[in-house]
Structure 1
Amino acid sequence: MGLLSGSGAMVTLASELRIYDKSGDAERQAILRAKAAHEIDRICTEIVTAPKAERPDLWLTYHNYYKAPDLIGPTVARRLSIPYVQVESTRAKKRLSGPWSEFAQAAHDAADAASVIFYLTQQDHQTLLRDRYCDQHLVHLSPFLLDHRLPEPSDRSGPMLCVGMMREGDKLASYRILADALAQVAQPWRLNIVGDGPARPEVEQVMSRFGNKVRFLGELDRDALGILYRKASIFVWPGVNEAFGMVYLEAQSHGVPVLAQDRPGLRDIVTNWDLSALTPPPDSGPEGYAQALTQVLDDPVLCDRQASRVRNRIANRHLAPAAAQRLWSTLSPLLEIPS
């Protein structure tokens, strides 16, 4: 919303109804469908009775997928005869059977209704292209930071930095890979960890072998985190099953070299190094990550070269002005506005 309104559009949150079913509960899905139907009637009534200047010209939905299908936007857009657009939607045919089957079908139907779908990763593009409806436009919108300019660069004089939520599953798996990799690194190192969550005791336990080489800083606000980025030497986070990970963009915007595993979502935002150290394959496990980290620590010249390279890439592709230009160059023809 901030990106659109910052470009001069009047943006309104049409509904605060949260359509989300975490566990595949048919009863919950039925309740949400009923609530969505009431919201459709309310929204349409409010719009048709509003002054013409206050009526919407376009409906935009963010993140339509099988657990959270857009049950409102397609119907409202159709009733009002306005364009319907989605951002960061996914398709999952395998969910068309099982406990989310009806929600998955609703997500597919909503995706079919979109004139344009903006996708953020090539992984999403593959399934969107496979199931594209008629002449629907699929437009790449690079993941972006809301900043309009690059922040102050890091002097890389401080410890390595890790930023990640602490919860069971993929996040904890990333912490375990990182800890097992650090145990194999012979060079001197120090690490700051930013993050918190229900799995913090487990994270602290796997890092306990390193004593005061690892410092836990808890959850920090944007300004406090920015101070750490401006000193960080290397950003370390394996990124198990990350969709893309905004922390990688934040680190690179400060010119901090990033060490991530070679995973589909991360390929869209992590700049390749001159060497293969940046992206050890996931099947290499902690050993591969340790080898890559050792290579990075042994080659400060490579880090220096990469620092300016990643900042240039972020400036050109992953800040708000570039994202706004991409959005409006696509939306303007739908609204019959000169781009």
Structure 2
Amino acid sequence: MMRLAFYAPLKPPDHPTPSGDRAMARGLMTALERTGAEVTLASTLRSRDGSGDTALQASLFAQAEEQIARLIPQGRRERWQAWVSYHNYYKAPDLIGPAVAGALGIPYLQVESTRARKRLAGPWADFAAAAESAADAAAVIFYVTARDAETLRRDAPTGQHLIHLRPFLCRDTLPDAAALSGPMLSVGMMRAGDKLASYRIIAKTLTLLEGDWALEIAGDGPARAEVAALMAPFGDKVRFLGALTEDALQGAYARASLLFWPGVNEAFGLTYLEAQAAGLPVVAQNRPGVRDVLAPGIYPAPEDGAAALAHRLTALLAKPELRQAAGAAARDHIAAHHLLPAAMQCLGRGLSAAGVAA
């Protein structure tokens, strides 16, 4: 049995706050275990610095050194054969994995690593350098989007393997298909920045819709008041569901007619995978990251604005047969590319490429 160490510097898999990042970390651990590995969560140190705080970065470097000193003897005792880190980037670099793997003489692998050399100057300079160094140390990097692959290929050291691991749901089969006869559904955290930008686009689009429509919104967060103000003009046509458990969210997908989420600067968007697995057509903008997980279809460009989104929504709401066809294509796409078996096969190839065997 393979013995692997796992680490997620941005958000550990046991973090109390749900998110797509936490879900992917958990899914990766499950997928690695399903390949026949014994997986140890090596550290829960969260290295994220969201504001460019050099004092915080210095503290995190020091905490990482303490972790390294603890983990090297643990790795020897437990006979780790490789180290796998998820989501290394300049705001949350892997400050631990390369040092431990190097000391143990084992392969170091990354999943969803990004390069941002423009950040080598400025308030994140030391963290950006650490993220670049960690990426350089990886024998294998699994990239999840075409956008990430561009800089990874450009800056890859000689001999590094780059493998496309599609974002995936941690399940073997699809859920029951939605009936596609209920309200539209939007799913997103409510916080300032990109998420709020998506909500603004939704509100602007809704002003252009005519006829009988309804929208449910699943999500909560510090920008709840701003989102509520954006939706206030639509009265009871918009219903807030709040933050939902996994089961409750599956219920929302099951009764929806489609998913509407523009996807401003989404890395890829786990909700797109979940919605399509339930057979929901997706109305989103054609954006990097987002397009990596969507079934082939019609997705307006961001520069086409709210009018193009409203046109697509109107067409889907008016034609049940169009919703059914788009929903079936979405389910087929997820079944073929974005479930646990496909992820297991891909991770297995990467481990083999790194020289790790059972």
Give the TM-score range, shorter chain: over 0.9
Q: Alpha-carbon deviations, 1:201-259, whole Å to 9, x = none?
A: 11111111111111111111011111121111011011111111000110000111000
Aligned partner of 2:294 among 249, 255, 270: 270
Aligned partner of 1:248 among 272, 283, 300: 272
1:290 to 2:310 alignment = yes
Q: Alpha-carbon deviations, 1:24-79, whole Å to 9, x = none?
A: 1122211211221121111112333x2xxx21000011111111111111111111
Tell me how far 1:333 sits from its aligned partner.
4.2
The letter of the residue matching 2:70 is R
**Which residue does 2:242 correspond to in 1?**
218
**Which residue does 1:11 correspond to in 2?**
39
**Which residue does 2:100 correspond to in 1?**
76
* Bigger Rg over Cα: 1
Whether the 8 Å CA contact 2:140–2:353 is kept in 1: the answer is: no
**Which residue does 2:166 correspond to in 1?**
142
Aligned partner of 1:59 among 64, 83, 86: 83
**Which residue does 2:350 correspond to in 1?**
330
| Matches of 1:234 and 1:140, distance apart in 2 | 28
- In structure 1, runs of 5+ residues without a counterpart are none
| Matches of 1:216 and 1:21, distance apart in 2 | 31
Whether the 8 Å CA contact 1:254–1:311 is kept in 2: the answer is: yes
| Matches of 2:222 and 2:56, distance apart in 1 | 26
Q: Alpha-carbon deviations, 1:265-324, whole Å to 9, x = none?
A: 111011122xx3xx1111122222212212222333222211211111101100011101
| Matches of 1:109 and 1:225, distance apart in 2 | 39
| Matches of 1:174 and 1:333, distance apart in 2 | 39
Aligned partner of 1:155 among 158, 179, 182: 179
Q: For 1:173, what is the secondary structure of its paired residue? A: helix
Aligned partner of 1:106 among 130, 135, 138: 130
**Which residue does 1:128 correspond to in 2?**
152
Q: For 1:157, what is the secondary structure of its paired residue? A: coil
The letter of the residue matching 2:205 is A
**Which residue does 2:200 correspond to in 1?**
176
The letter of the residue matching 2:280 is V
1:307 to 2:327 alignment = yes
| Matches of 1:16 and 1:223, distance apart in 2 | 27
Tell me how far 1:16 sits from its aligned partner.
2.0
Q: For 1:153, what is the secondary structure of its paired residue? A: coil
Q: Alpha-carbon deviations, 1:130-154, whole Å to 9, x = none?
A: 1111121110000000011100000
Once the two structures are overlaid, the 10-residue window that deviates more, 38-47 or 230-239, is 38-47
Percent identity over the alignment is 54
| Matches of 2:215 and 2:345, distance apart in 1 | 38
**Which residue does 1:32 correspond to in 2?**
60
Tell me how far 1:5 sits from its aligned partner.
1.6
- In structure 2, runs of 5+ residues without a counterpart are 1-28
| Matches of 1:237 and 1:47, distance apart in 2 | 43
Aligned partner of 2:72 among 44, 49, 63: 44
Once the two structures are overlaid, the 10-residue window that deviates more, 279-288 or 79-88, is 279-288
Tell me how far 1:336 sits from its aligned partner.
4.7
The letter of the residue matching 2:324 is D
TM-score by length of 1: 0.94
TM-score by length of 2: 0.89
1:2 to 2:2 alignment = no
CA RMSD of aligned residues (A): 1.3
